[in-house]
Amino acid sequence: MAYKRKAKKRVTRNVENVVAHVRATFNNTLVSVTTTDGDVILRGSCGQLGFKGARKGTPFAATQVATNMAKELTGMGVRVIEVNLQGPGSGRDSVVRAFQASGLSVSTLRDVTPLPHNGCRSPKKRRV
C-alpha cells in the first residue's frame, strides 16, 4: 500500500531587506529574490507566467514578472530591495521600474554582468 508523503510546511518569513538578482538575456528574464545572506525566497521568469518564444525577452514580460513578485514580497513585509542586474537583455530596466512602481524602495542598483579580460575566443560574427 502506497502512503502519502507529508507536504513540507511553507515557512513565512518576515524580512525587510532583500536582494533581487535579475538575469536578463535576449530570450528570457529570470528574477530570484534572496535574503541578504543568500537564501532564496522567491523566483520567477517570463516563461513561468506563460510567455512563449520571442515574447519572453520583451520588457513587458519582465514587468509582469516583477509586479507579481512585488505583490508577494509586500505580503512578506519587504520594504527595501537591492537589485543586481546581469546580462544585456531588454528586461533590465523594466524590472527595476516595476519594483519602484509597486511601492518597494530600491536602495542600490548593481551591474554584475561578467566581463571577460580577453579569456575565451568569442563566437563567430552573427549573420542576419
**Cβ pair 40, 69 in contact under 8 A:** no
92-110 mean pLDDT: 94
Model's pTM, two decimal places?
A: 0.82
CB atoms inside a 10 Å sphere around CB 38: 8
- Please write the tens of the pLDDT for every residue from 41-78: 999 999 999 999 999 999 999 999 999 999 999 999 89
Give the chain's domains with CATH numbers.
17-111 (3.30.420.80)
Residue type, 40: V
Task: Indicate the Cα dihedral angle 53, 54, 55, 58, nearest 10°.
Answer: 140
Residue type, 80: V
Q: How confident is the model at residue 10 (pLDDT cuts 50, 70, 90)?
A: low
23-48 mean pLDDT: 94
Q: How confident is the model at residue 104 (pLDDT cuts 50, 70, 90)?
A: very high
User: From the centroid of its chain, how far is CA 6?
Assistant: 30
